[in-house]
Amino acid sequence: MIYLIIASIVACVYLVWTPDQDLTQLKEKYAQAPSKFINLAGTNLHYRDSGNKNLPVLVFLHGFGASLHTWEAWSSELEKDYRVIRMDLPGFGLSGMNETNDFSNTHDITVILGLLNALDVDKATFIGNSLGGKLAWHIAAAHPERAEKLVLISPDGFASEGFEYDKAPQASWMLSSMTIALPKPLLKMSLVPAYADANVLSSAMVDRYYDLICAPGVRKSIVARVEQTVLKDPIPLLKTIQADTLLMWGEQDGMIPIANAQDYVKNIPSVRLEVLPKTGHLPQEENVQASLQVLKKFLNR
């Protein structure tokens, strides 16, 4: 009887086990030109640098679980008038595992600014979504000389359920288990709340998110990042931001509610809020033209 139980358990594990995907094949699919790689602080950083090198620089920072591909539609349009730099943040996409296993804000910012230094970029407009928004406003606060302007799209940074100030959270068993098993339908279920209209989430988009989350080391990196996330009260830092700031928020954001926008409106000295109707957490994917229009208007001021 015991052997039947063990065999059943082994069979179930085998059916749901999700190994890492082959990195060479992933690069062939997701690292087309102008993709490049550079080793910075233990991360083999995947990045793209497009547009005219003599024009103003835009630096895009994606959100949790995403990749530089989330900016594809915006980049295609903006690189006509700007130099556009985007990257897979440490532990995500094709940047994969960070050899130091350090996923703190400090390390991320070291890598971001290290890339800009390597590309001879002294100053840029930082545009960040969710986690990327938190990194963008940290850069603007700590390195005001580097930030020309600041665009925050549903940024992260304030305490929320499970993420208290000055306390590292424990990764849930569900999050930890994805390092062993991650069925694609389950991943799709986790992505749906990011969109006001779930129909926007095409099968190709689900495939991309799934492939890149299953890149070597990424799932373990995600768990490590969560367990290393120690939030600090952001208000003192936000009040020091000198850069002119655009705060963009989807009215139907199911990940970070629109009500949270007031935390930033109250504390960033020079900020304007633009609310996008019928839009969720990822306006750069879901409401491309309307969000681009808002962004261009701000950049051209």
DSSP string, 52-96: -TTSPEEEEE--TT--GGGGHHHHHHHTTTSEEEEE--TTSGGG-
- Give the CATH number of the domain where residue 288 resides: 3.40.50.1820
Segment 286-299 shows an average pLDDT of: 98
Domain count for the chain: 1
Q: Which domain holds residue 237?
A: 2-299
pLDDT of residue 2: 37
Tokens of 125: 């407009």
pLDDT at residue 5, rounded to an integer: 28
Backbone angles phi, psi at 92, to 5 degrees: -125, 160
DSSP H or E stretch at residue 286: helix 283-286
277: Cβ contacts below 8 Å, ≥ 6 apart: 251, 252
Mean of the pLDDT values across residues 88-113? 95
Residue spans of beta strands (DSSP E) within the chain: 35-40, 43-51, 57-61, 83-87, 124-129, 147-153, 244-250, 271-276
Q: What is the pLDDT of residues 211-255, one digit of tens each?
A: 999 999 999 999 999 999 989 999 999 999 999 999 999 999 999
The per-residue b/e assignment along 25-61, b for 16 or more CB within 10 angstroms, e otherwise, is: ebeeebbeeeeeebebebbbbbbbbbbeeeeebbbbb
Cβ neighbours of residue 48 closer than 8 Å, sequence gap 6 or more: 34, 35, 36, 68, 75, 84, 85, 86, 87
The reported pLDDT for the residue numbered 267 is: 98
Q: How confident is the model at residue 175 (pLDDT cuts 50, 70, 90)?
A: confident
pLDDT interval class at 16 (50, 70, 90)? low
Does the structure show a pLDDT above 60 at 1?
Answer: no
Q: How confident is the model at residue 10 (pLDDT cuts 50, 70, 90)?
A: very low
The one-letter code for the residue type at 261 is A
CA dist., res. 45 & res. 36, Å (int):
8
Whether residue 33 has pLDDT greater than 80: yes
Rounded average pLDDT over 131-158: 98
pLDDT average, residue stretch 60-83: 98
204: its two tokens? 């190709």
